[in-house]
Chain A
Amino acid sequence: MARRAWGALLSGSGNGVDHLLSTYNANGFYDELFGNAAKPASHSLSVQERLRQLDFDDLRRRASDAERELYNLGITFLVYSDAKAVDRILPFDVIPRIISAKEWAHLEAGVQQRIAALNLFLHDVYHDQKILKDGIIPAELVLGNANYREQMRGIDLPFNTYIHIMGVDLVRDHDGTFRVLEDNGRVPSGVSYVVENRHMMQRAFPDLMGDIGLRSVDNYGVKLLEAMCEIAPPRPEGVDGDPQVVLLSPGAYNSAYFEHIFLAREMGVPLVEGRDLIVENDKVYMKTTGGLRRVDSIYRRIGDDFLDPLAFNPDSMLGVPGIFEAYRKGNVALANAIGTGVADDKAVYAYVPRMIKYYLGEDAIIPNVETHICREPDALKFTLDNLDKLVVKPVGEAGGYGITIGPRASKAELEECRAKLLEDPANYISQPMVPLSVCPTLTEDGIEPRHVDLRPFAITARNTWVLPGGLTRVALKKGTLIVNSSQGGGSKDTWVLTEGPTEEPALESALVDPFQSQSQSQ
């Protein structure tokens, strides 16, 4: 809640965080630390109190130490400028975003429900296609989609799971309602920042988080490995030991390489590149110092197109020739499955609430942002009539590209958008501009509200597990709503709280997990 204290704003005295928070004003947006007048955030009171006790210069110093540490530890992504690769950090804001136990229980159930529906949908479209026959989703939207993989028709997967690793982009509107903005069911990234941001906060601000019932994000790697083993094909008679799991990366010059390293380390499995693998007799092997060694389960961070030059893009140098055939025969597991892109398409997204109803007979626990599917004439007309109030998105793009934000667009930009819409309506959806919630954020001028979103991560093999946390992305530029790292966004640590102060042990330790006998140590 924006705190009154207009007097303090003018007084200009004080160097404490207390003073800055007293003059803080969320400008009518829902605030992640304070809530709003109707729903003050009582769960964050103890953190608010601790923040107020900090000295502002101290806060700034600890924040800049934290950023330097990220750089030194190489928690970076590569940016290419002047043909040189430069390491950049994802800017990190030290003021955490806090989610109550009740809010989280709701989000967790919503994410699980959504993933269940999307997996049922994928199994359906690659088998009987009932949902298309029943006219719930236009068949051409699915079958004509660039990410639909005809090669996957009739292939059965363990537990009928296609999306093993999922990231759901959520936003929160002016009254604090969480809504799904986008699904990421191909190769979602960002989970390494969830864990590393927490490590950073533990080092820099142990005084903020002690004793508040903060849920741990430490066991993501254990859960991921467990899922990779669950989906591995059964080992042949007489072969002992755990399945050989690997992480397949495009290599050290990929911008997400840090995350690949992070996940391989957390799982304790080799990080391989395409050149480290070879397919013989429809079985996948890795090249080791002792010769070839069988691989059972692959967490791949390479898109469908580049995975196998024999089955997909023939020009790919990153993939492994023949791997699709090995996969098709059930000799190796891949996560995520091939062809999941048809489920996280922006146009298909609009149908997910109907999908949930169709497969599960339930209403969506987390609603979508109101979406107009421009391929439908009424929606197109509505969009054209309200162009200056809507956000228009092309369905094929990622990373915030090609978006027209009506209220911010010039006349010329609106006309350009109108022309594109008329030319190819099926390529667009439109949504009202969501007044994204804000969170107090350290800026040049003090502490100011900045817009945030939230990407929780979930892992599914037999069951779905949702990491209690998520990537909070923050639009660091004043007033901007686009949080993507490619467009100047940063991130914050996301704190999910337990119900009571000590009801649940804060550390969900990997040590108590029965699954810990993975033998490979590379």
Chain B
Amino acid sequence: MAALLARYAECIFWLARYMERAENLARILDVNETFARDSYGATNWVTIVRLNADEKRFFELYPTASAKNVLNFYILDQQNPTSIIAAVSSARENARQLRPLISTEMWAQINVFYNKLLAWGPNDIAPQNIQRQCAFIKEACQTHTGITEGTFFRDQGWYFYNLGRNLERADQTTRVLDIKYHTLLPSPRDVGTPVDISQWNSLLRSAAGYHAFRRVYPRGLTPAAVAGFLLFNDNFPRSVMVCMREVDSLLNRLNSKYRLRRGTLPLERSDELLGSLASQTIEAVIAGGLHEYLDRLQLSFSSLTSDIAQAFFHADQPATMTA
């Protein structure tokens, strides 16, 4: 069985994560265009800065949280490690390391995508153009996904790629949900109003989940139903449940098919996480605080990532016993 260099495994895992992240950042910005409007139609872009806990870094670079500044910070600012261009640049650097492994088409598409973003100026990300540009970024990321699906060799590397993609996607879904439920907590007078409903609509649409949601809940749209759908639905490709089921099965197959004996620890973690997702209900989650629940999920994704790194990317070092 062909061996996979540990460094390649790490790069391919992060390549997938950064591309998925870029797509989701574009989705969040796209949604925020709608969310940032209050019931009077005014926009408040500082919320998205707050959501990402980026206030300190942001205000060191920009005097005000104008639409123009916030969009520049999150799309084109190379100094901001959480910008789209930084994600695509990191994806490209990983792809550069991986060029011996990935298809030429995968590399060429990322290379062209990055150079295109690099050539964008302030006008390209002006608020009136933002939906079109976010659509472009989403589509470039999806093109990457398609090229990868169609050209990437299906051995170990493929498993690490999909581990990265699904972990990142699960993580990003919790973040999109958090925008609505945490920072933009509806004021009591807005609940159930047209503004509130339209924001939930937008949230679903940003995750390309509106129609899927309608198939499951044809007649109503409640905040709890939307949150439950994004977290626990068994069939929606961006739900945390579907992503984690995929992660668990990938880890399983790495253990059995490739006999990576050190993969046991991450597999145990992921089994545990999957078990707890399956036994949850959205009602219980909301009762205990949705934001707190999302926080805990994000922490468990992060420790699963460390376990994967420890087991596969640093396999030459002795395994340390982590809690």
Q: Which residues of A contact B (CB under 8 A)?
A: 72-74, 247, 252, 257, 260-261, 264-265, 270-273, 275-276, 278, 286-293, 519-522
Contacts and interface: CB of A to CB of B under 8 A. Distances in A.
Contact of A289 (B100, B104, B156): B156
B5 A291 contact: no
Interface in B95-131: 96-97, 99-101, 104, 107-108, 111-112
Given A252-B97, A264-B100, A286 B5 contact: yes
B111 A291 contact: no
Given A261-B99, A520-B2, A522-B2, A275 B7 contact: yes
Interface string B53-88: 000000000000000000000000000000000000
A292 B318 CA distance: 12
B6 interface: yes
A72 B111 contact: yes
Contact of B4 (A73, A260, A271, A522): A522
B7 A287 contact: yes
Chain B, interface residues (CB within 8 Å), range: 20 to 34
Given A287-B316, A291-B315, A292-B316, A74 B7 contact: no
Chain B, interface SS category: helix
A35 B233 CA distance: 74
Contacts of B111: 72-74
Contact of B3 (A72, A260, A264, A290): A290
28 contacts: A73-B107, A73-B108, A74-B96, A74-B108, A74-B111, A247-B100, A252-B97, A261-B99, A265-B99, A270-B100, A273-B7, A286-B3, A287-B315, A287-B316, A288-B4, A288-B5, A289-B5, A289-B156, A289-B160, A289-B258, A290-B258, A290-B260, A290-B262, A293-B3, A520-B3, A522-B3, A522-B8, A522-B157
Contacts of A72: 108, 111-112
Contacts of A275: 7
Nearest to A251: B97
Interface of B: 2-9, 93, 96-97, 99-101, 104, 107-108, 111-112, 153, 155-157, 160, 258-262, 312-313, 315-316
**Which are the 5 A-B pairs with shortest beta-carbon distances?**
A271-B100, A288-B3, A264-B100, A261-B99, A287-B316
Interface centre among A73, A257, A273, A275 (most CB of B within 10 A): A73
A521 B155 contact: yes
A195 to B, nearest CB: 13
Contacts of B260: 289-290
A293 B6 CA distance: 11
Nearest to B315: A291
A257 B107 CA distance: 14
A141 B97 CA distance: 41
